[in-house]
Amino acid sequence: MEEPVDAPVIECARLRKAYRRRPALRGVDLRVTAGEVFALLGPNGAGKTTAVEILGGFLARDAGEVSVLGHDPGHAGPGWRRRVGVVPQETGALSELTVHEAVAHFAGLYPAAAPVPPLLRDVGLEEVAGRRIGRLSGGQRRRVDIALGMVGRPELLFLDEPTTGLDAVARRQVWDAVRELTRQDGTTVLLTSHSMEEVEELAARGAVLADGKVVAQGTIAELAGGQSQRCVVEFTGQRLLPPSGLPSGTDVELLTDDRVRIRTAQPSGVLRAVLDRAAELTVVEVPGLRVSRPTLESGYLSLMAELTGPAEEVAA
């Protein structure tokens, strides 16, 4: 029986898994909705790979409830498997086949596969389509992995560190291909990545795992800014500080060389006040004006520091 239209694509509650009595997942709750790119973040050993293997039907769980595309992945059949695409972190098979042969072979396993030549073009493999996979560079082989995961036009795609080893151009080609897959086919993507830039480019929401538990979950903007969502406004010219003051909740720091640094949750209000003051003083351009918003990397590192303490090294 198919799941209701408004049902989540992935839903798990109290998910647990241990290896030789050592807990890898300690009661994980996740909910991923149709058509979104959801990022799973966390340091090495946090439980991300274990969670993905359970959700993908490759590993049995110890406890908890799991539904993926309306089915328990631990007992799902071939029909369910054809609806799921997987790009694992490392693969090493198919070395004797050409790129086109490998992707075309996998395309034949799906009832509505993507056309092979356009897919190879989209992931940057068009020029090596006739080359054996074993003769490709590491980055090119990684793009083959991605093409194999996408060729079936899956309803759900698991991407585990998809652009590791790719150069900047190839990385953006892959990002564009993922965006097109979600836009055109409505594919839901569960992304695990250590690249905060990649997550910010692709994902709308995410969760952070640490020590087998979800320690934060929300939109990427919420994960970046935490509770404060504070931005930093900097400029040169302390006389440009408005005498009437700035919006509430701002912290002003007077630096050397006449610099001003303002931390605020209301950057638009701060900018308006500073620009109005500049106009009063007939200052056309505010010197050195810069606005820095919270990044996912800064929010993630701050969260990890809170969990581990400043003396411990954070694996990002």
Q: pLDDT digits over 134-179, tens only?
A: 999 888 888 899 999 999 999 999 999 888 888 898 899 889 989 9
How far is residue 198's CA from residue 186's CA, in Å, rounded to a whole number?
20
Q: How confident is the model at residue 208 (pLDDT cuts 50, 70, 90)?
A: very high
Give the predicted TM-score (pTM) of the model: 0.80
Q: How confident is the model at residue 316 (pLDDT cuts 50, 70, 90)?
A: very low
Higher pLDDT, 293 or 90: 293
Q: How confident is the model at residue 315 (pLDDT cuts 50, 70, 90)?
A: very low
Q: pLDDT digits over 264-306, tens only?
A: 988 999 999 999 999 999 999 999 999 988 889 988 988 888 8
What pLDDT sits at residue 309? 64
In order of their start, the domains of the chain are 10-224 (3.40.50.300), 230-292 (3.30.70)
Q: pLDDT digits over 55-78, tens only?
A: 999 999 999 999 999 999 999 998
Nearest to 64 by CA among 7, 36, 97, 23: 23
Is the Cβ–Cβ distance between 153 and 187 less than 8 Å? yes
In this predicted structure, the answer to whether residue 312 has a pLDDT above a threshold of 50 is: no
Q: pLDDT digits over 4-48, tens only?
A: 455 799 999 999 999 998 999 999 999 999 999 999 999 999 999
Q: How confident is the model at residue 262 (pLDDT cuts 50, 70, 90)?
A: very high
In this prediction, residues 79-84 reach a mean pLDDT of: 91
Mean per-residue pLDDT of the chain? 89
Higher pLDDT, 227 or 60: 60
What pLDDT sits at residue 313? 43
